[in-house]
Structure 1
């Protein structure tokens, strides 16, 4: 079986934001998605990257060709020579970076870019933003160290105003160190030696890099929490440089018409009262617009746009006394794929925003109403697409510091043995810091209805403490404390994993305490010739020879789910959206060029899961 490759040899120049003009082409020793074939240094992720806090007219995208060098980890000074060009924001190991090179824990990656700051940006304070860099990052501008960050999945920024030269090009240098699976940090499915369910490492910059101009007093962030029972949106703004007499004005709009407003002190928690609520759901994903302004003596000092939705996720007993999940006080069975968010050409980074949206669109067309985002955090625009399209999201915390756990996963049973991992104080601190940051940054996205702090006992530690803290930190959502893991403190949900058949925790033992969920099942494999990561030795949890056999088996699994729902099952997650590397158990191939069961047929198969007759 021969791999299908696409030869791309056109010469391309760097984007206007980049000071280097060199050639670039992707590494084409593996399959590519259709969007990868359209990527150039000029068009690499040009969209505005922060949809929940938009200042559209005073930002500058820095994606494009940068210089890079891999040096010994111990080297702390910037290189004087470079190995070549790398296309940001694609990780160095990816095909679309143009490099396709592995690095180790003994290496550091250096990036260099000579940038000319646009006039519209070079005023007030200038912030340098990173969507995500894996893992440890130091940033230098014109030789000055402007900041450090640790964390592979959360966004961060630095005020670089004092380091900017008055004229000419600015020298931006970034040093990154990433130990991948040889460190304790959250890393998800990455591993130094990819095999089985473990994939190629992702190191360095893998989301958009951009500049933003803000005034001395500016809106840093907002925290927006809907309450449909009170018909209100609680909103708290973080304002940098606010003065005692400043005010904040918050206005809500529905289709361009103002429907509510509130004015008060920037430091206060504000309640935006709404009438005639339009609730958000998968069948009707209604979004309201927000305008936030900081006022000083009646004049606007800073303003930004945002959006929100009115929806409620809750846990309560049905008529049989079984705990269920309710959306807007109605039972809805959550059914969706395990979504890893990996790409054959960009690894963690989709080749384009169109590609990023494609998986969500197809998931919805297939008749799913939910996605479990599996031990990865996506760029902010992915969540915006889920909000707009109407997909419920279960958000995992990326796993890390694996090994040393005892794992007792038996359907319907909870072991009384102690299974928590003993993690070092450093490892615990890294986890807590990044999980807190992830939850804060994703709080405003209404599509996210469940937090999942642990998966399959991978690095699971101090479970009760972490789960309790997660619940306290965000009481507006449900918490699935240990998806398929050790159930010594599962939060609101008891979640087992079972391959390939559908199963559920015992409703007699746990149905009156927890929402019962099947957090992973299925994994039906079908390798499609010319669309696999490697020529042979691909696998699924159960493999098939053709699409008809696959569809018949899959349809049987869904039939089994319909028999479990009346008994107490409230959610199920099918493995998985796409093939990933040597796993061929996706509903789509890794390159997204083949959908193994037609979309319309999948949609028809799934409709029986949402019948109101299943739960009275």
Structure 2
């Protein structure tokens, strides 16, 4: 039976614009106090060369009014004067940036960095990398435009060898950014210019690490890492701008010792699942036998170290051997399997937001804290919610043994309150009866923009390719609660073609289309049970539930709170949480394959986290207010 009292208490409220209380995480506080941080981790630990130059730090910035910003960004000149400095990679809206300004849709955000140009030897190229910029940008180096990029969540790079040479020992990088936020239809996740409830402060610009890298003229561009534990084989399929006769050598290490090696030269035809950046790119496939590989799991997150060598180019990487699938368990019911053994998913929803950095974690240590806190509490999976995280985060999950359920990022037009919230909340039968293939359906689900649909499909493909080498990533989530949903069947077929090794949650929450590997529901307002599902039978998961609000005084961003039911003391919260998790554990015997509890931390008005927004209080500890970490 629907709990109407709980529904009414959780009804969306109109944002009132109340300023957020300033909250700092321990790592943000240390950054502002100038404490030295450890040596920066490579932005891509799975594709790392020995030397790189991190460009995090203070850049010049300017926010410029531009009524026609969408087109002006392509050719408007840099400003004559600058507003001040910004701490990169934090967005201007994030407190750690030192700016504290909200970029508007009719404004442009300019960046400028003047720095020493790294030494580039004969036979080398200089590559400028941006891990993520929200949303559209163009880049200028030493006065010469080197390219642009559109999309807020994927990494991109520019070869700036010739442009850098014109500046002698100095390098000047300028970046012009336009971000329409939720006034547009582009992918944006939980960001809104008018935050409130389940929607968070919009951010813009550079929000992940920029960096420089010198590479040989002949070098590796990317590598697909395909471990096969059952076949005791590791296959590497690499892209390189190399003559066909240059071999790729692969060496595999475990516990510091060499366990296997192999080499091969370019193959034809070029595999469709690799990105061919240049006409002269070559594809090289190397198969290396690995006898009796040690399997990766949350209990034993064992990583093999790899060394890929192509001519003078040497890349450090790693891999893990594991299998994931959805198949029938001993009771005949569909279950999630890891390494051919059933594993009950005990997950937590992870928004990836921080009070001082917004979508940017204050440090690697901060990301490690979140992962280990959830693992110590007995959870084995994080559902990265409607956000693609920086590559370092996935490396930490690989290293620490935390499974990842990866959502795709949503966007599109304004949400219909009826179709996105009220109808599925009140009428459970709507979860399996609404289609998503016609223009009328797309209008209901905020997906009627052709530009949005094209960007969603392109970014979905790029996300799978970007993250497919990470052993921690075990599930792809495509659409959430109908938001921006369109033709989930076709999307599922595309992802299955790109990556046949991972199960797919096609529609998390509602508006199921009978595809994918899960019947995935959100249940905040009804008694927990294993619901009957339409054919074909898939693994049943409650991919969101719980959300018990417990505001801890002194650790809240707002005086108002949002959640699904409220606890008024640490003891009351502990009892409610224990009961909620115990109910889910008991349903495993009835066919539940797993659950995802809402959520890892408080976020702005939401106070339904297991940790406070500033990460200083773990609410799962008895006497939580006395357990503050500083």
2:294 is matched with which residue?
A: 278
1:47 pairs with one of 32, 41, 49: 41
For residue 65 of structure 2, what is the aligned residue in structure 1? 72
TM-score, structure 2 normalization: 0.86
Indicate conservation of the 8 Å contact 2:187/2:452, yes or no. Answer: no
Relative to the length of structure 1, the TM-score reads: 0.88
Match of 2:404 among 380, 393, 402: 393
Contact kept, 8 Å, 1:342 with 1:350, in 2: the verdict is yes
- Shift of residue 271, structure 1, vs aligned partner: 2.3
**Alignment counterpart, residue 342 of structure 1, candidates 353, 371, 395:** 353
CA–CA separation in structure 2 for the residues paired with 1:345 and 1:55:
31
Give the structure 1 partner of residue 213 of structure 2.
212
Matched residue SS, 1:528:
coil
Is 1:569 aligned to 2:563, yes or no? no
Residue 321 of structure 1 and its aligned partner are, at CA, apart by 2.1
Task: Check whether the contact 2:404–2:474 (CA below 8 A) recurs between aligned residues.
Answer: yes
CA drift at 1:143: 1.3
The match for 2:278 is none
Residue equivalent to 1:308: 319
- Return the offset for 1:424: 2.4
Cross-structure match for 2:581 = 558
Counterpart for residue 423 of structure 1: 448
Residues 106, 456 of structure 1: alpha-carbon distance in 2 compared, 3 angstrom cutoff:
same
Q: 1:600 to 1:28 in 2, by over 3 A?
A: closer
Question: Comparing 313-322 with 35-44, which one deviates more in the overlay?
Answer: 35-44
Residue 50 (structure 2) pairs with residue 56 (structure 1) = yes
Structural mapping, 1:169-180, within 5 Å: 169-180=170-181
- Give CA-to-partner distance per residue, 1:555-590, whole Å, 9 cap, x none: 111221122111111010000000000100001100
CA distance in 2, matches of 1:29, 1:548: 26
Match of 1:322 among 333, 357, 364: 333
In the alignment, is residue 547 of structure 1 matched against residue 570 of structure 2? yes
Q: From the two aligned structures, give the one with the greater helix fraction.
A: 2
Q: Deviations over 1:48-73 (max 9, x none)?
A: 2111101022x111111111111123
- On the 8 A contact 1:122/1:213 being kept in 2, the answer is no
Instruction: Give the distance between the partners of 1:42 and 1:145, measured in 2 at CA.
Output: 36
Contact 2:60–2:113 at 8 Å: present in 1 too?
yes
What per-residue deviation string (whole Å, max 9, x for no partner) do you get for residues 476-511 of structure 1?
A: 11111111131014411110001156635535x458
**Number of the residue aligned with 2:304:** 288
Q: Residue 582 of structure 1 aligns with which residue?
A: 605
- Structure 1 position 270, deviation (Å): 2.7
1:243-258 to 2 correspondences below 5 Å: 243-258=243-258
Q: Select 1:495's aligned residue among 520, 529, 534.
A: 520
1:42 Cα offset (Å): 8.7
Q: Distance in 1 between matches of 2:529 and 2:131?
A: 38
Partner of 2:141: 141
The match for 2:102 is 102
* Matching of residue 531 in structure 1 with residue 555 in structure 2: yes
Residues 577-605 of structure 1: CA deviation (Å, up to 9, x unaligned): 0000010000110000111122999xxxx
Task: Tell whether the 8 Å contact from 1:61 to 1:208 is kept in structure 2 after alignment.
Answer: yes
- CA shift, 1:319, in A, is 2.9
Q: Name 2:10's counterpart in structure 1.
A: none
> Hey, what does 2:12 align to over in structure 1?
none
What is the correspondence of 1:128-527 to structure 2 with a 5 Å cutoff? 128-164=128-164, 165-240=166-241, 242-266=242-266, 267-294=283-310, 300-403=311-414, 406-407=419-420, 409=424, 414-419=431-436, 420-421=441-442, 422-499=447-524, 503-507=528-532, 509-510=533-534, 513-527=537-551
Whether contact under 8 Å (2:530, 2:587) holds in the other structure is no
SS at match of 2:162: helix
Equivalent residue number for residue 91 of structure 2: 91
After superposition, give the CA deviation of every residue in 1:535-561 in whole Å (9 maximum; x if it has no partner): x21122111110111111111112211
CA deviation digits over 1:211-248, x for unaligned, max 9?
000011111111112222212222210112x1021111
- Report if aligned partners of 1:502, 1:561 keep a CA contact under 8 Å in 2: no
How many residues of Structure 1 are paired with residues of Structure 2 in the alignment? 566
